[in-house]
A and B are shown apart, each in its own frame.
Chain A
Amino acid sequence: MGGLKRKSSSKTLGKAKQRKGPHLPSSILKAINEKRPLNSDEEDDELDSDDENGGDVYEYEDGVPEEESRRNNRYDRVDNYEYELPEDFKVFFQHTRMLQDVSGLPAEVFKGEGKSERRKLYTEAYPESEFNPTRDVLEGKDSVTFEELLAPLEGKPGYNELRKSFSRMRKNTQSVVHAPLPKPERERLDRKSVRGQVDKEFDKWVPLVKRNREAPTVYFDKDVNLGYSTVGAIASEFKPRTKFEMNMASVLGGNEVLEAHRNDGVSMEDHIKDHNRIAKTRSLLFRHEIKSKRMKKIKSKTYHRLKNKDLRLAGESLMDPELAKEEAMKQEIRRVEERMTLKHKNTSKWAKRMRSRGLDMRYDETRAALSEQLQKHADLSRKVNSMNDGSSSDESDDEEELNDASDQDTPAKLLAKAKEKTLKIVEDDEVPNSGLLSLPFMARAMKKKQEEANEEAKRLVEEYEEWENPDGAENPKNSVNVIGRRSFGETAIVEAPKESKKEANNFYDNSDSDNDMDGIEDNDVVAVRDNASPARNTGTITETEIDDVAGNSAPKTTFDVALFASGSWKKMTGCKNAESKKASKTHVPISQAQDKKESRDEESEDSESEAEQMVDGILTSASKETFEIPSQAELINRAFAGDDVVDEFEKEKQKVLNEEVPEPEKPVQVPGWGQWTNIQNKRGLPSWMVREHEDAKKKREQALKTRKDARLKHVIISEKVHKKAEKLHTTTLPFPFTSKEAFENSMRMPIGPEFNPSTVVGDLNRPEVVKKTGVIIKPVKFEEVNPNDKADDEHPRSHQKQRPKKSKKVGRGQSKVKSK
């Protein structure tokens, strides 16, 4: 463009010169040009080139700047004169002088040369001919027309053709292609039109983008169709394509094959029935499996014991003889094994150790385990045919006899036998003289065991005797009989509390008084209500601790709170309370003494002791004695306690203020400085120091005035920064917010499920983008959006919208185009 301009300027150098001087406004010039015939003279072309609106299409010209065009009279022309005249004059004078010198004519002759008389002779370099046409000819002005040239040829052969071709040409010339616009102009026009188009294109997206930007949540869940979901679906779509596939299809899907299938003998109904049956059995099997799994999971021993028992019983009743035989064989093998190994006869290392240490005697569990093993042994080593027998004697030798007995004898006889046996056992207690068992501790243990066994045996014998001579009703006896075996258990139960009691006693003896209540509370209610145990407790407590209330507290008061519900208005406690009252009365002197002691010990505890005196009020006779009228000094103290409270508070406030807003330090000079002479001393501190001090004072006062408690005399509000809590506040506003109010107001509502109905919690906590896994996010599609509609939450899933980010990109592109 620049180059072009330069060219044009070099071409029309003269013109530029002319333009510089004062000239008519271009509008007038234009009018003149229109009036003047275009093809008048050679000099016209200069004028032509002068006016831009003449439309010389070959030459590009910038639009005349406004100040030059003078369409409006904003620009002072005089300025231009002033500015341009000197140069113009200079040029003019130079030129005229030169002409003067050359021609020798006076200057007046040449004066009007540039403007009024512009006639110049234009001499051609060559004679005018068809090879060297004049400019007029070239420009088609005032030139020979085709018609003129054709006229002489009229009537001659070929004329018509010539005319036709001429007219055709003419037609073509009428739609002549104009010379193209200069490139920049063309480009600008292009851009203009393109921009209009693009703007239109983008503007249509604006509502959509806006909606996406403003939507609280963008959803990508419309295109959830991920294709085939099953293999069957894929298979159903299959169509044979290759030759091989075709062949296969024809073979498989051929009529003959289908026919053969049909005639296979298996009808569809049969097939379905079969299928159903199989399915049913399968499901049954499955259920059974599940059930057995579940049963297997059960860990309860009782359950398994019962289950096994059931199974065994069922097996016995149901099993066919062969199986029973087999089972019997198995049992026999087990029995033999057991008899050979004596595995369950407490021969194991552990059992031996337990027995040798006498632990089985001490611990119930160990004993139970040992006896269980023995039981097992008995079970295993029992003869098969005696399985139904209820007896559980250990020795297999005796078993036979017993069995015999059980077969024949009556229960009475059986009992007699048993009694005899036990007595025998009781009687023969021989201690081995050698070996491990002869060791003293072993002997002791054995003895102990023996004693126990004896006791047991005696009890048994007693029982036997009872059974032997039954008196009274038989039914209770029977019931006893039924649980006869359990007599062991009962004894154990009887013994257990004894032991625990012993332990508890030990516990009391050893324990500190602090935690003594623990043990008591753990005992049964019965034990607590038992008068003996509290008595014991009181003993321990009073012995171990010297306390102000120990004496009174000792008797335990229990209140049957359940009685409250009966609706009676007031209820005194029962006899126990009375007892405790008595106790308290008896203890009163002690407690008082202790009280006094305590008050002497701790002088600061005056209010406490006072409260204690007030405790029982007027009702209780004991407390009447304890209540004392406060001394005169105390009364006075109390009366004047709050005398100078106000003053104290003032002082306190002053202190706090001084601490929080410290007073400025008094100006002090460096020692020895400014104290040379008396005058210096008299003058006092330098003025700047004093001023500074006063400023600081003023500042402090200002600070005090702005405090919250400045006007509240009765309040001191600390303005210390709660440093630990500072981390609970934000220092800067989070991103989109620009004002504190907006942020804090947006924070005011809780969004958790505890505070909001479930219908709203989802909306409150939905993420910005909701997308299902596997969904492909496609570029945003155009859709019509009513710009006046607000982003609705009610139909959020109706469209797949684009992520706001992407839409932002679109927006940016748009702006780029606009900026160009």
Chain B
Amino acid sequence: MEVNTEDNNVMEKVLLPDEQEIDVELEAKEKKYLRGEGANLELLKDKKLKSQLASREKIYGKSAKYAAKIEKWLLPASAGYLETEGLEKTWRVKQTDIAKEVDILSSRKQYDIVLPDLGPYKVDFTASGRHMLAGGRKGHLALVDMMNMKLIREIQVGETVRDVAFLQDEDLFAAAQKKYAYIYKSNGAEAHCLKESGPVTRLRYLKNHFLLASVNKIGQLRFQDTTNGSMEASIRTGKGRTDVMEVNPYNNVVALGHSGGTVTMWTPKMQAPLFQMRCHPGPVSSVAFHPNGHLMATSGKERKIKIWDLRKYEEIQTIHGFHAKTLSFSQKGLLAAGTGSFVQVLGDSSSGSSHNYSRYMNHSMVKGYQIEKLMFRPYEDVLGIGHSMGWSSILIPGSGEPNFDSWVANPFETLKQKREKQIHSLLDKLPPETVMLDPSKIGAMRPARRKEKPTRGEIEAEKELAIEAAKSTELKNKTKGRNKPSKRTRKKKELVESAKRSFPAQEHSAASKKRRIGEEEAAELPASLKRFARKK
């Protein structure tokens, strides 16, 4: 033992401080990849299971270590950042300043597209951030490849367009138009007209479930399966018209913001909301979810932005004096809020589990532009802004995830990869009932129901209590003839019997009765058939 500790000491001495730091960092990452603690094996009695679980844990540890190392050493890119010196403040840095500092490729990502005629634009990005869809209110739909800034297709639907959303990838996209929602192919051909859902105000797509969620003018929330077209759910929210809808990326629960200041959470397979929260005294104007699914940001018309912890159903922070018409969380957790012609980006200044959002960057558009929709472009430090005069794109350093995972989303996808992925994602399609608040509980033990039937033991205990109570009841003194001891005992017995009777006979007694009957029947059988009778 001593030798060992000495060895350890020597090792510690040898380790440089840098290496120690690396070790600490790796350990933290390893912990992340271990996804929680293993079971306490000491409590297990089964030795075989114990050893099996122990070996399992060992392999898990190996895997986590490997993943941590890969994350540490092999991932190609590091996240962007904005660093200030002295009295400089990050929110004083303007886009023009950034443009001077960044490389040519990045500087090309700052631009305004001015389309003055066809109304405020909604924008949507594919999961990989490769393609953008812009939907002008007055019927202009444009599909743009952001990598080479090529306009793939633009169409004029000749109707009001209220919202646009990509489906699985850029091949199909949906547009909420005047009367119905439509699905278009990337070449502009109309693939479907979704007449069932009526005049849709908001569209969102649940990627893992292949569900197109839409909320219409009369406040009906509908989930339509895009693989077979079936309407998976049609829910009356009963809260009136709304055009605030967002999907929680972690568990695919759909959130609706209502005019009464409440935010409700819905799943396709339940008619009632999972929970509702009174977030604002006035109408909710927009909702956004942090990619980790635990944080929600809401903004109300009373000029407040609130950040909520969805695990505790608690408000963590209120940001005053800013009415956000639209909110958006970036992959790295920056929160962008847009109103009028002003964009504010909030950053989480605190580290760890507590959150403290404070201003990180500002951007003001040309006066008079009305911002309609903000959305961070995935895997890029870019914020897309759809406004009344077209759309713009600005650089927000540190907003995007620097390394993409080609299993999840690949901006450089080849045609073959895309096809393969389409098939895979179709095979991996999740049924709509898997949308739940805590999806990690799938496959675990069923949560204990509120007790409806007492267990046998409880019934027994209750019965005993009742009998005791019956036994200990003191009988009143009755008139002479009725107060005989025999009568009293008989009365008591009756009481006990009635107490017993009030508890229905247990099931097992019935079963035994049945068995007995079976045996009796066997006794009646002729001798030659007796051997077929059920034996004990």
A residues at B contact (CB < 8 Å): 213-214, 216, 513-515, 517-518, 521, 541, 545, 547-550, 552-554, 556-559, 561-562, 564-565, 567, 569-573, 577, 580-581, 584, 604-605, 607-608, 611-612, 614-620, 638, 641-642, 645-646, 648-649, 652, 656, 703, 709, 712, 714-731, 733, 736-749, 754, 756-757, 759-760, 763-764, 791, 793
CB of B127, distance to nearest CB on chain A (Å): 16
Nearest Cβ on chain A to B295's Cβ, whole angstroms: 16
Contact partner of B188 among A517, A548, A721, A728, CB < 8 A?
A: A517
Given A642-B282, A748-B35, verify A513-B158 contact (CB < 8 Å): yes
Query: Is the pair A736, B46 in contact by a Cβ cutoff of 8 Å?
Result: yes
The answer for the CA separation of A731 and B178 in the assembled complex, in Å, is 48
The minimal Cβ–Cβ distance linking A793 to chain B, given in whole angstroms, is 7
Could you say which residues of chain B place their CB within 8 Å of the CB of A616?
116, 119, 388-389
**Cβ of A559: which chain B residues have Cβ within 8 Å of it?**
113, 115, 142, 151, 154
Check A646 against B39 for contact (C-beta < 8 Å). no
Indicate whether A715 sits within 8 Å of B155 (C-beta atoms), given known contacts A214-B48, A561-B144, A745-B37. Answer: no
Q: What residues of A have a CB within 8 angstroms of the CB of B39 in the complex?
A: 739, 741-743, 745-746
In the complex, the answer to whether A556 meets B52 with C-beta atoms within 8 Å is no
**CB of B72 to closest CB in A, whole Å:** 14
Q: Which of A514, A553, A562, A577 contacts B138 (CB 8 A)?
A: A553
Is B67 an interface residue, CB under 8 A from the partner? yes
Nearest CB on B from A405, distance (A): 55
In-complex Cβ contact of A549 among B154, B160, B260, B434 (8 A): B160
Within 8 Å CB of A720, what residues of B?
Answer: 270, 272
19 A-B residue pairs with CB within 8 Å: A521-B188, A548-B178, A549-B159, A553-B156, A557-B118, A564-B111, A570-B112, A614-B370, A619-B368, A645-B278, A649-B262, A715-B276, A718-B275, A725-B436, A729-B446, A739-B43, A744-B444, A749-B35, A764-B59
Whether a CB of chain A sits under 8 angstroms from the CB of B450 is: yes
* C-alpha gap A649/B279 in the complex (Å): 11
Q: Mark B44-59, 1 if CB is under 8 A from A, else 0.
A: 1111110111011011
- A747 and B154 contact, Cβ closer than 8 Å, known pairs A214-B47, A552-B117: no
Q: How far is the CA of A203 from the CA of B141 in the complex (A)?
A: 80
Q: Is the CB of A749 within 8 A of B276?
A: no
Cα distance, A740 to B137, chains bound together (Å): 54
Tell whether, in the assembled complex, residue A619 and residue B272 are in contact, meaning their CB atoms are under 8 Å apart.
no
> Are A617 and B369 CB-contacts (below 8 A) given A605-B217, A641-B259, A791-B51?
yes
Q: Using known A-B contacts A553-B156, A570-B112, determine if residue A740 contacts B445 with beta carbons closer than 8 Å.
A: yes
B274 at the interface (CB under 8 A from A): yes
CB distance from B73 to the nearest CB of A (A): 13
Smallest beta-carbon distance A788→chain B, Å: 14
B40, A741: Cβ atoms closer than 8 Å = yes
Q: A214-B47, A541-B158 are in contact. Are A726 and B120 (CB under 8 A)?
A: no
- Cross-chain contact B118 with A571 (CB below 8 angstroms): no
Q: How far is the CB of A576 from chain B (nearest CB, A)?
A: 11
**Chain B contacts for A605, CB-based, 8 A:** 217
Residues in A neighbouring B482, C-beta threshold 8 A: none
Query: Residue of A at shortest CB range from B443?
Result: A747
Complex: A718 Cα to B266 Cα, angstroms: 11
Residue B62, interface by CB 8 Å: yes
Query: Are the C-beta atoms of A718 and B273 separated by less than 8 Å?
Result: yes
Residue B283 interfacial (CB < 8 Å): yes
Residue of A nearest to B112 (CB): A570
- Assess whether B412 is interfacial by the CB under 8 Å rule: no
Q: How many residues of B contact A (CB 8 A)?
A: 115
Known A747-B443, A760-B66: A728·B111 in contact at CB below 8 Å:
no
User: In chain B, residues 227-280, which have Cβ atoms closer than 8 Å to a Cβ of chain A?
Assistant: 241, 243, 259-262, 267, 269-270, 272-280
In the bound complex, residues from chain B placing their C-beta under 8 Å from that of A718 are 270, 272-275
**Distance in Å: Cβ of A808 to nearest Cβ of chain B:** 10
Q: Determine whether the beta carbon of A756 is less than 8 Å from that of B63.
A: yes
Known: A714-B313, A724-B433, A740-B445. 19 other contacts (CB 8 A): A521-B189, A559-B115, A570-B111, A581-B117, A608-B160, A616-B116, A617-B389, A619-B369, A641-B283, A712-B313, A715-B276, A715-B278, A718-B272, A723-B269, A726-B446, A744-B445, A757-B70, A759-B66, A760-B59
- With A and B bound together, what is the CA distance between A542 and B108 in angstroms? 39
Bound Cα distance A698, B480 (Å): 42
* Bound form: Cα–Cα A656–B153 in Å: 49
Distance (whole angstroms) from the CB of A192 to the closest CB of chain B:
30
Candidates B44, B110, B241; contact of A742 at CB < 8 Å: B44
Residues of B within 8 A of A557 (CB): 115, 117-118, 140
Contact A743 B51 (CB under 8 A): no
- Interchain CA distance A716-B278 in the complex, whole Å: 9
Give chain A residues whose Cβ lies under 8 Å from the Cβ of B332: none
How far is the CB of A395 from the nearest CB of chain B, in Å? 50
Closest to B279 in A: A714
A564 lies within 8 A of B40 (CB): no
Q: Which of B140, B151, B158, B260 has the most CB of A within 10 A?
A: B158
Partner of A548, one of B37, B160, B273: B160
Which of chain B's residues have a CB closer than 8 A to the CB of A562? 149-150
Q: Known contacts A518-B190, A553-B158, A608-B160; is A642 also within 8 Å of B281 by CB?
A: yes
Instruction: Look across to chain A and name the residue whose beta carbon is closest to the beta carbon of B184.
Output: A517
**Which A-chain residue is minimally distant from B269 (CB atoms)?**
A724
B526 within 8 A of A: no
| Contact mask for chain B residues 157-189; partner A; CB cutoff 8 A; 1 contact, 0 none | 111101000000000000000100000000111
What are the residues of chain B within 8 A of A641 when measuring CB–CB? 259, 282-283, 301
Contact with A along B205-242 (1 / 0, CB 8 A): 00000000000010000000000000000000000010
Give the chain B neighbours of A642 by CB distance below 8 A.
260-261, 280-283, 300-302
Within 90-125 of B, Cβ neighbours of A (below 8 Å) are at 104, 107-108, 110-120
**Please, which residues of chain A bring their CB within 8 A of the CB of B3?**
none
B138 contact set on A, CB distance < 8 A: 549, 552-553, 615
Query: Cβ of B447 < 8 Å from any Cβ of A?
Result: yes
Answer yes or no: B139 CB below 8 A from chain A CBs.
yes
B60 on interface, CB distance cutoff 8 Å: yes
Q: Which residues of B contact A517 (CB under 8 A)?
A: 155-158, 188
CB of A652 within 8 A of CB of B66, answer no
Give every chain B residue within 8 A of A618 (Cβ-Cβ): 367-368
Contacts of A703 in B (CB 8 A): 450
Cβ–Cβ contact B407 & A754, under 8 A: yes
B residues within 8 A CB of A715? 275-278, 313
Contact: A649 with B278, CB < 8 Å? yes
Q: How far, in whole Å, are A237 and B501 apart by their CA atoms in the complex?
A: 89
CB distance from A813 to the nearest CB of B (A): 19
**Do residues B150 and A580 form an inter-chain contact, with CB atoms below 8 A?**
no
Cα separation A134 to B26 with both chains bound (whole Å) = 101
Considering only CB atoms, which chain B residue lies closest to A515 in the complex? B190
- Nearest neighbor of B141 in chain A, beta-carbon distance: A517
Shortest Cβ distance from residue A199 to the other chain B in the assembled complex, whole angstroms: 21
**Leading 7 A-B pairs by shortest Cβ distance:** A642-B282, A729-B446, A214-B51, A742-B39, A617-B368, A745-B39, A618-B368
A619 touching B389, Cβ below 8 Å: yes
In the complex formed, the residue of A with least CB distance to B59 is A763
Give the residues in chain A near B155, CB-CB below 8 Å: 517, 521
Residue of A nearest to B96 (CB): A569
- For B64, the closest partner residue in chain A by CB is A749
Q: How far is the CA of A652 from the CA of B264 in the complex (A)?
A: 12
**Quick check: is B80 within 8 A (CB to CB) of the other chain?**
no
Most B CB contacts (10 A, CB to CB) among A518, A608, A725, A744 go to A725
Residues of A within 8 A of B118 (CB): 552-553, 557
Question: Contacts of B178 on A, CB cut-off 8 Å?
Answer: 547-548
Also in contact, A649 and B445, with CB within 8 A (given A567-B107, A617-B369, A746-B39): no
A-side contacts of B243, CB under 8 Å: 607
Residues of B within 8 A of A723 (CB): 269
- Digitize B436-454: 1 where CB-to-A-CB distance is under 8 Å, 0 elsewhere: 1000111111110110000
- B445 in contact with A730 (CB, 8 Å): yes
B190 in complex: contacting residue of A514, A581, A738, CB < 8 Å: A514
